[in-house]
Chain A
Amino acid sequence: MKFYVCIKQVPDVNAPLQIKDGQLIQDADRNILNAYDASAVEEALVLAEKHSGEVEVVLAGPEKAKETLRKALAMGADKGTHIVTNGDEDFDSYAYAKILSKFFSDKEYDFISCGKQSQDTDAGLTGSMLAEMLNLPYATNAVGLEFSDGKMTVKRQGDSGQEMIEVPAPGLVTCSNDMNDPRIPSLKGIMQSKRKPVDTIALNDLGAEISSDDVQTKVLGFEEKPEREPGKKYEGEPDEIARQVAQLLDSEENVI
């Protein structure tokens, strides 16, 4: 089976952040493999090992994003493609999906997977956009995957419980990070990753012309979230503080 995993380099949301004149500034220029994508890579590797398949990772991003592609190769992916962008474009989910759909237009595969969202924008749109552009059956928010007889059985989190969905190949699945703990690349894996094949394609050579019409959403700026004021801390006899707070929730807050 042939698996493609679409991955993205994102700023580490756990690194210190500040906002200056409406712009987002990361104190540390820490960029990482999107955690949801790491989960998709892990799951593809497990399935490929089980069904003797191949995993190829695809990343659209600037030159420096190559390190993130190497990370996925170090985890165990067989091959990578880097679609190189300038890095100063304000691509939104639609533009990324369009770039990826162009890449996949002449490829053969059983399944494409990706994270269900990226940690920086939390938009969660690219996966199902790509599926629609490629006219593929898809399932989102997978928390478990099984492959057999050319079909993927997806356990996904729905509104009224976990749904078992069958997606025929070729298809697309977006992964939650609740499905596994992505492996940490071993030293051997890191060494091997340097010899693994990586195709580098300039965005222009892909023929995916992204015009301003394809970027229909714009980020105008950033602002701090209004902070919640810490309330009162109650310490002391459990009986006493429990009763006191219960009464306040009734008399002061009117929420009981």
Chain B
Amino acid sequence: MSTLLTVISVNDGKIKRSSLEVLSRCNELASNNGMKSAALVIDSKASEIAEQLKNYGPDEIYTIENPIFKNHLNTPVLKALSTAVSQINPKVVAFPSTESSKDVLGALAANQQTAALSDMSEFDLTDNGVKGKRPVMASKIISSVEASGSPVIISVRSGSYDVVEKESNANIEAIDFNFSDEELQITLKEIISSSSDRVDLSEAEVVVAAGRGVKDEEGRNLISELASVLNAGIGASRALTEAGDYDPSLQIGQTGKVVSPQLYIGVAISGAIQHVAGMANSKVIVAINKDPDAPIFDIADYGLVGDLYKILPPFIEELKKIKQN
């Protein structure tokens, strides 16, 4: 029976929502096409993660556990992936579109001499591969694509599918894997800015994004307060990350992160196309901007025209009241 294999992305011991979205889609496709949906966990604590996955309906769970996977390094991850693909022989290998998967997607395809489609916004099976859609040209337009091969390797944008909880009594199978330090081609020296203590931006249900108009500490404090009331991830436009006001990992847009929250609040963000490419899939968009002609108002569901320093304090107060009730 053909297998659809979802590679689960784990960050600090937590399963990324985006991988459960991909797994849910693969479960659906497998059940509609008489195939098997399998999940693969490559992590230093893979067996613990595997137990949690039983709540999300895979038919089979594979684990590759090794201390080397504590931090992402492409050499061992690639070796683990090719070991798993050789053993499982799946029809499709599907990743959530994370920084770590972007790092290995092409290399895995080259290693398996097969096709890859990255950053898909929807996908379906064909007789000999995968077809679907992906945004191109700075997400301005959508292209329809297909790939044939065995396996076809894909990555899927976060927010493209809903997570469907479904209990399963999937068998957990550990795949044999050895890795010696001599094989390590690259070395990790340091992780500079860990954002693990914050809400993960690409996974967040609510995102508050700061733009050029957030000029000073008072503005940044208002952003933090708003994010804290809503338990939101904080993002920023390129102007602010380049100015050093926000960590580069918080940049939303074509070159930064793609977010797809239930609620996105853009504060003093004009809506440049590069930024919009990273947030246009948000369910509800709120924009706060002084300039009534800012392009973000063309895509915002709620556009507040005015000075953020005057709008945010009463907005935060009102949200606090709503939260308390």
Contacts and interface: CB of A to CB of B under 8 A. Distances in A.
Interface string A168-196: 10010000111000000000000000000
Given A164-B190, A233-B292, A246-B322, A129 B107 contact: yes
B191 A162 contact: yes
B105 interface: yes
B186 A223 contact: no
Nearest to B195: A161
A41 B114 CA distance: 29
Nearest to A139: B186
A113 interface: no
Interface string B279-311: 010011110000010000111111111110011
B142 A249 contact: no
Given A178-B241, A238-B306, A163 B192 contact: yes
A163 B188 contact: yes
Given A159-B100, A160-B194, A162-B249, A256 B322 contact: yes
A218 interface: yes
Nearest to B149: A216
B146 A122 contact: no
A107 B147 CA distance: 32
A176 B141 CA distance: 22
A159 B242 CA distance: 19
A245 B301 CA distance: 10
B99 A24 contact: no
A158 B187 CA distance: 14
Nearest to B206: A255
Contact of A164 (B189, B301, B310): B189
Contact of A94 (B109, B292, B301): B109
Contact of B254 (A122, A131, A155, A256): A122
A207 interface: no
Interface in B85-120: 98-100, 102-111, 114-119
Contacts of B307: 238
A224 B306 CA distance: 32
A124 B106 contact: yes
Contacts of A200: none
A50 interface: no
A4 interface: no
Given A159-B100, A160-B195, A245-B315, A235 B105 contact: no
Contacts of B314: 238-239, 242-243
Q: Is the interface of A mostly helix, strand, loop or mixed?
A: mixed
Nearest to A227: B299
Interface in A6-57: 11, 13-14, 17, 19, 24, 36
B143 A161 contact: no
B284 A249 contact: yes
Interface in B53-72: 71-72
A223 B136 CA distance: 10
A129 B109 contact: yes
Nearest to B254: A122
A219 B195 CA distance: 37
A224 to B, nearest CB: 6
The number of chain B residues touching the other chain, given as a range, is 35 or more
B285 A163 contact: no
B297 A160 contact: no
Contacts of A217: 115-117, 145-147
Contacts of A256: 230, 263, 319, 322-323
Contacts of B280: 225, 228
Q: Is the interface of B mostly helix, strand, loop or mixed?
A: mixed
A97 interface: yes
B273 interface: yes
Interface residues of A, number: 81
A227 to B, nearest CB: 8
Contacts of A68: none
Q: Which of A125, A133, A232 has the most CB of B within 10 A?
A: A125
Contact of B136 (A122, A133, A159): A122
A161 B241 contact: no
Contacts of B283: 255
B208 to A, nearest CB: 13
A159 B115 contact: no
Given A129-B109, A217-B146, A250-B322, 19 more contacts: A119-B137, A124-B102, A124-B106, A132-B78, A137-B186, A143-B248, A157-B249, A158-B100, A160-B191, A161-B249, A222-B144, A225-B135, A228-B285, A231-B285, A232-B301, A238-B306, A238-B311, A243-B318, A245-B302
Q: Which 6 A-B pairs have the closest CB atoms?
A: A216-B115, A137-B185, A125-B106, A231-B301, A128-B106, A246-B318
Interface of B: 9, 11-12, 71-75, 78, 98-100, 102-111, 114-119, 131, 134-149, 185-196, 206, 230, 238, 241-242, 247-249, 251, 254-256, 262-263, 273, 280, 283-286, 292, 297-307, 310-315, 318-319, 322-323
15 contacts: A94-B116, A97-B106, A122-B119, A124-B102, A129-B116, A137-B185, A160-B196, A178-B242, A217-B147, A219-B143, A231-B285, A232-B303, A233-B304, A238-B310, A255-B284
Interface of A: 11, 13-14, 17, 19, 24, 36, 92-94, 97, 119-133, 137-141, 143, 153, 155, 157-168, 171, 176-178, 216-225, 228, 230-235, 238-239, 241-243, 245-250, 253, 255-256
